[in-house]
Structure 1
Amino acid sequence: MTTSSLPPTSEMVRAMLTCDAAYEGVFYTAVKTTGIFCRPTCTARKPKPENVVFHRTAEDALTAGFRPCKRCRPLDVKGAAPDWVAALLKEVEAEPSRRWTDEDLVARAIDPVRLRRWFKEQFGMTFHAYVRARRLGAALGSIGAGESIDGAAYDHGYESVSGFRDAFRQTIGTTPGRSRSKALMLYARILTPLGPMIAMAEERGLSMLEFTDRPALPAEIEELRGRYGYAITPGRNGHLDRIERELEQYFAGTLTVFEVALWLPGTAFQQEVWTALQAVPFGETRSYGELAASLGRPGASRAVGRANGQNRVSIVVPCHRIVGADGSLTGYGGGQPRKDFLLKLERRIRFGQGDAVAARSIEVQASLF
């Protein structure tokens, strides 16, 4: 890992001063006057740029003699649940129909206010809202499998059918009876070296994989809910488990072809473009014009570019491999620093820079999980 793989210094200084989340995992800042290194998103008081050196990995900063910051914890995966939250989430997954109260949390030495703050920061909802959505999602799955509405209500922790109907309508957006026509889309957060991602999958395959700070994410979720009629709730299924494993292998440098099943709602033209994206080889790039020509539409570069930008499954449907005609990095929903990181990672894996460098890359990336 050489300094040539880092963004320009002026770009890193700007990202550090503005806490730009798009650079999460792209570089680390090390302060010569304190001997501490941080994430680019650290909220501690900003050092003077002349006192900062930049490192490609946390390992490089450690090797150079810097200590990890206790505030931003650069050795942890960004967004990882602390032990006290992880243990609670394990209980929720083991018994998703359980109703939780603040008294239950206090009995586990968990401050409800602190828990609420963590969930709002990481999930955009409170713990109780998350558990309620998780419970209703399980109930929706039961109704879709043929269980009666009354049975689903009582089996998933509701004391009355009327209360179940009200909660169902508020969270799912329809009545339990009408929900039988809705497909269930489950979602989970997945942690990566470049920041947390949200993955969504229905029973036929993965339908979304986006960085949680992507500006278009709310609109994409609303499109799945409104245009395609999905009921979206937190949960897990085999596709989500598989993409989590495959992403870990991808960033570790041991996977070049994703095998997770995909289900990509969209227009015929969008699906045609997304299929063509998957044909771009690992470690290579194509221009918008070349992608359009491969579809037999040489004059449709702009339309192809628009469909490319509407891709909801980043990395797996590799829209990051599409560049400008001159090879420049063009727009990317996850941010150009991430695009640059992904392209360099893939080139390094495919073409290598010597066995020792490749082995070190794999070791460094794997240590982040």
Structure 2
Amino acid sequence: MLFKRPSDDILYEALVARDAAYEGFAWAAVKTTGIFCRLTCPARKPKRGNTTFYGTIAECLEAGFRPCSRCRPMLKLGETDPMVTRLLNALDADPHRRWSEDDVGSLGVDPSTARRAFKRQFGMSFLEIARLRRMGKAAEILTSGASVIDAQLDAGYESGSGFRSAMTKLFGAAPANLRDKTLLRADWIETPIGPMMAIADQHALHLLEFAERKALPAEIRKLQKFTGSGIIMGRHPPIDEIEEELKAYFAGEDRGFRTRLAGHGSPFQRQVWEALRAIPVGVSRTYGSIAAELGLPSSTRAVAGANGANQIAIVIPCHRVLGADGSLTGYGGGLWRKRWLIEHERRMAVRKVSDG
């Protein structure tokens, strides 16, 4: 890649300094307000812990953030397309409308021209942007305890079935379910070996995976199906808890992990995961030895399968499991990370012994 996105810490420094050199490479999303801004936004700067950075405007919108009304991040600096500006102004004035191509045409804009312009600038059409704005607002209304019909009408849907279908597609749950339960929240946690995504409810951690894991999208869909919940960007207490524990872990402190984990998996998988958590820091096991410890010596492949199904990386330390010959075996976060974690924990164990 010719351009590698700077770290979030560098981007935050650019945000505070309003450094135009980074303009267009990333956008800052503020979890406490639900808005996203350009890095040169003149508004009061959010705290670092409340700020997430995205590489595209589409990612900001898909994560449920709305554009800042002050810095207008959806308008290109220096080369604003009057047609795009007109449509975005209309959307800001009426974000709850269920926009259609006829509405676009009524503003004197050819729908196909608008579609191409928005796709080129944002990676999605104007109507897709309008839908995300509308549905994000509807989710907020539902989770605050409002009735489904109120949220439906507020989102601009006359048809109940159409509203239910749109909400289910976007958030992974039917409107009635969103009303009755809190949405799962997801956020990024920076680590020395790459960002991790954490997903939690108010009481427990449901997922902790490296962002580069190829199976992450499938795991998120599986989680949505299993819990019947949607997932939006933000934080619940378990994410803050696991972030602090990970900081200690990567600093070389063997404190263990006490963040409560959600009870996913089959009884056998949970049995294997508990066995993994019982492996001391600095120690490795093989699939066969774990199967033997469980009294199931012929279940080596099943143990390997349970190991691969783990979706709480590091905390459930599947990286401590090696092949029968002592070689590194597959690891969803990449073999280089597995090697790094094993070596990091070896140093932790040595330090613990020397400290007595």
Q: Same fold (TM over 0.5)?
A: yes
2:291–2:298: 8 Å Cα contact kept in structure 1? yes
User: For the Cα contact (< 8 Å) 2:182–2:201, is it kept in 1?
Assistant: yes
- Structure 2 CA distance for partners of 1:79 and 1:315, relative to 1, 3 Å: farther
Taking only aligned residues, the RMSD between alpha carbons, in angstroms, comes to: 3.8
Is the 1:228–1:265 Cα contact (8 Å) retained in structure 2? no
- In the other structure, the counterpart of 2:32 is 94
TM-aligned CA deviation for residue 256 of structure 1: 3.5
Q: Please state whether the residue corresponding to 1:210 is helix, strand or coil.
A: strand
1:142, distance to aligned residue in structure 2 (A):
6.2
State yes or no: 1:224 paired with 2:246.
no
Aligned to 1:37: none
2:283 counterpart residue number = 284
Gaps of 5+ in 1: 1-42, 45-70, 111-117, 359-369
In structure 2, distance between residues paired with 1:177 and 1:242: 30
User: Helix, strand or coil for the counterpart of 2:232?
Assistant: strand
Matches within 5 A, 1:23-102: 43=1, 77=7, 81-84=11-14, 89=28, 92-96=30-34
Deviation at 1:310, TM superposition (A): 0.8
Task: Give the TM-score of the pair, scaled to structure 2.
Answer: 0.63
Which fold has the larger relative contact order, with Cα–Cα distance below 8 Å and residues 6 or more apart in sequence?
Answer: 1
Out of 290-299 and 131-140, give the one that drifted further. 131-140
Cα distance between partner residues in 1 of 2:273 and 2:254: 20
Residues 156-181 of structure 1: per-residue CA shift (max 9 Å, x gap): xx675769958645522454234345
Contact in 1 for aligned 2:54/2:60 (Cα 8 Å): yes
**Superposed displacement of residue 322, structure 1:** 0.7
Alignment partner of 2:41 out of 86, 108, 120: 108
- Superposition deviation, residue 125 in structure 1: 4.3
Q: What percent of counterpart residues are identical?
A: 37
Change (3 A) 1:125 1:241: farther
* 1:94-243 alignment runs, 5 A limit: 94-96=32-34, 108=41, 119-120=54-55, 125-130=58-63, 131=65, 140=139, 143-144=142-143, 146-149=145-148, 165=163, 168-180=167-179, 184-243=183-242
User: Shift in Å at residue 141 of structure 1?
Assistant: 6.8
- Range that drifts further, 129-138 or 240-249: 129-138
What are the superposed Cα offsets for residues 207-229 of structure 1, whole Å, 9 maximum, x if unpaired?
A: 11111111111111111112442
**For the residues of structure 1 that align with 2:180 and 2:327, how far apart are their CA atoms?**
46
1:278-337 CA-partner distances (Å, limit 9, x unpaired): 111111111111111121111101000011011000001100011112221111111111
Contact preservation (8 Å) 2:173, 2:228: no
Q: Quick one: which amino acid aligns to residue 208 of structure 2?
A: L
- Whole-Å Cα distance in 2 between the matches of residues 83 and 161 of structure 1? 42
1:150, 1:243 → 2: CA distance? 37
State how far apart, in whole Å, the 2-side matches of 1:134 and 1:269 are: 42
State how far apart, in whole Å, the 1-side matches of 2:33 and 2:152 are. 15
Pairwise mapping of residues 235-314 of structure 1 onto structure 2 (< 5 A)? 235-314=234-313
After superposition, the Cα gap between the structure-2 partners of 1:249 and 1:146, relative to the gap in structure 1 and judged at 3 Å, is same
Residue identity matched to 1:319: C
Match of 2:24 in 1: none
Q: Which runs of 5+ in 2 are unaligned?
A: 19-26, 44-52, 67-131
Q: Deviations over 1:77-130 (max 9, x none)?
A: 57864445689746x32223x6x7xxx7599279xxxxxxx7246xx9432232
Cα separation, 2, equivalents of 1:135 and 1:236:
22
Q: 1:249 to 1:296 in 2, by over 3 A?
A: same
Q: Structure 2 vs 1, CA of residues 281 and 354 (structure 1 numbering), >3 Å: closer, same or farther?
A: closer
Q: 2:146·2:179 contact (CA, 8 Å) conserved in 1?
A: no
Closer/same/farther in 2, CA of residues 309 and 348 from structure 1, 3 Å limit: same
**Structure 1 position 136, deviation (Å):** 6.1
Q: Is the 8 A contact 1:198 1:210 kept in 2?
A: yes
Measure how far apart 1:144 and its partner are.
4.8
Report how many residues are paired. Answer: 268
Who is 1:345 aligned against? 344
| Paired residues of 1:137 and 1:234 also in contact (CA < 8 A) | no
When normalised by structure 1's length, the TM-score is: 0.61
Flag the 1:72–1:309 CA change in 2: closer, same or farther, 3 A: same
CA offset at residue 352 of structure 1?
3.0
Shift of 1:72: 5.2
**Amino acid aligned to 2:62:** A
**2:21 maps to what in 1?**
none
The CA deviation string for residues 236-277 of structure 1, in whole angstroms up to 9 with x for no partner, is 111011111111111111244011111141111111111111
Letter in 2 for 1:296: G
